Chains A and B, each alone.
Chain A
Amino acid sequence: MSDAIRAQMIQILPRLRAFARSLAHAPDQADDLVQQTCEKALRNLHGFTPGTRLDSWMFRIMRNLWIDTQRARRATVPLADDPGDDEPGAILTGEDGRVTMLARLQLAEVRRAIAQLPEDQRNVLLLVCIEGMRYREVAEALEIPMGTVMSRLGRARAILARAIEGEPQAQHMPEKRK
């Protein structure tokens, strides 16, 4: 069964990457997480129940890896400091020449807003908007009701829309308002 699973894993790589981006914001860090997840999944293939969703199983492995390594590692760092500290620079690079619809400043606001979303909203937002997964697929993969997918997505969208329209965020950031 392992060859079939490997093929399936390659097929779902894009959504594994999108899910990883919703956990680790920097692209290279996210790909490292995908890589570790694939290794762990293959080494523990007997733990996978054939006929169940491979993406659900691997999302679970990925999230646990992330929780167990990242959160434990920075336990002495205050939690409030963590979202997106190193992220704007990391993602801005390599983007020159892209035709962007949004001004750079707006894009920075969008990134900040996404980084500050609750993790469960960010999971759904990235799987739907980056990876183009159907609501039903996201619901099955994350093992949550479809209504929950839609409500998380709607809340995330509302926050993003405010960021794009330049309304002040709920958490004000004095250093940004110079």
Chain B
Amino acid sequence: MTKDVSDEMLMALADGELSPEIRAQLLARIADDPALARRYERFTLTRLAVQEAYPVEPLPEALIRTILETPASPETPTKREENVIPFRPRPASRMALAASLLLAVSVGGFLTGRATGPEPQQVATGAVVAAQALAALPTGASVPLGDATARVLGSFGTDLGLCRLVAIEGAMEERAILCHNGTEWDLAFAAVTGAMDGFRPASDISVDAIDHALDAIGAGAAMTETEEAAALRLVR
């Protein structure tokens, strides 16, 4: 008798997802059937338990003020954002996109002709070496890379396949997105800034650029540890 009511139905009922008619029918059956009632209770109880475990605090006024008072960006890119080479939003083909993705973002004058900055090629090589060194390691792990440290900040499933966001911190701070092309890691994106010279930290600036880059390659949410481990096994 209870076998034909699925757990999904009971969960949907507890979460208010069902239409009034189906809701009424199911509740009537639950009232008549203790075994079904016990199964249903698991879903209502867990919903209440989450609500009790995470009581909602009153909305802080500071949040509203932030939203009302933070200056919005103009609708055309500001000067600072001109440093970021925009991705084409709707590329004709993903392969063309992949080819065009190799770019470096300069911040504070690096890479814009000053002799002090690294060559884009060096950035690319360093990041690819880092990705290879980190290939077997989960998010959060780091490896030494010359004078710097390379660390995985996240892995993403994207239109280009498995991509990883890597931080390289040394004299320079760098964020790179590397995607596995089936045989090796390709640099898809890099943002570089000076860490020691009073420039903004890369974490402040490149998050926006990284957002755009991830959007452009269709990245979803960062993978969980389990998803990441499975994805890494596939490319090894």
| A residues in contact (CB < 8 Å) with B | 1-2, 5-6, 9-10, 13-14, 17, 21, 27, 31, 34-35, 38-40, 42-47, 60-61, 63-65, 67-69, 71-72, 74-76, 79, 91, 94-95, 98, 100-102, 106-107, 110-111, 114, 118-120, 123, 125-126, 128-130, 132, 134-135, 142-144, 150, 153-154, 157, 160-161, 164
Contacts and interface: CB of A to CB of B under 8 A. Distances in A.
24 contacts: A6-B68, A14-B56, A31-B63, A39-B66, A39-B70, A42-B72, A43-B70, A63-B222, A67-B165, A67-B222, A68-B175, A68-B210, A74-B140, A75-B142, A110-B50, A114-B50, A119-B222, A123-B221, A129-B15, A130-B50, A130-B51, A144-B220, A153-B15, A154-B8
Interface of B: 7-8, 11-12, 15-17, 42-43, 45-57, 59-60, 62-64, 66-68, 70-77, 81, 138-142, 151, 153-154, 165, 167, 175, 203, 207-208, 210-212, 214-215, 220-222, 224-227
B63 A130 contact: no
A102 B48 CA distance: 9
Given A67-B153, A153-B11, A107 B67 contact: no
A10 B67 CA distance: 7
A61 B211 contact: yes
Given A44-B73, A79-B140, A101 B52 contact: yes
Contact of A40 (B45, B68, B207): B207
B77 A46 contact: yes
A63 to B, nearest CB: 6
B63 A43 contact: no
Nearest to A73: B203
B42 A157 contact: yes
Given A67-B165, A68-B203, A72-B151, A42 B70 contact: yes
Contacts of B208: 40, 43-44, 47
A107 B52 contact: yes
B52 A100 contact: yes
A75 B151 contact: yes
A63 B215 CA distance: 13
Contacts of A21: 54
A40 B50 CA distance: 29
Nearest to A61: B211
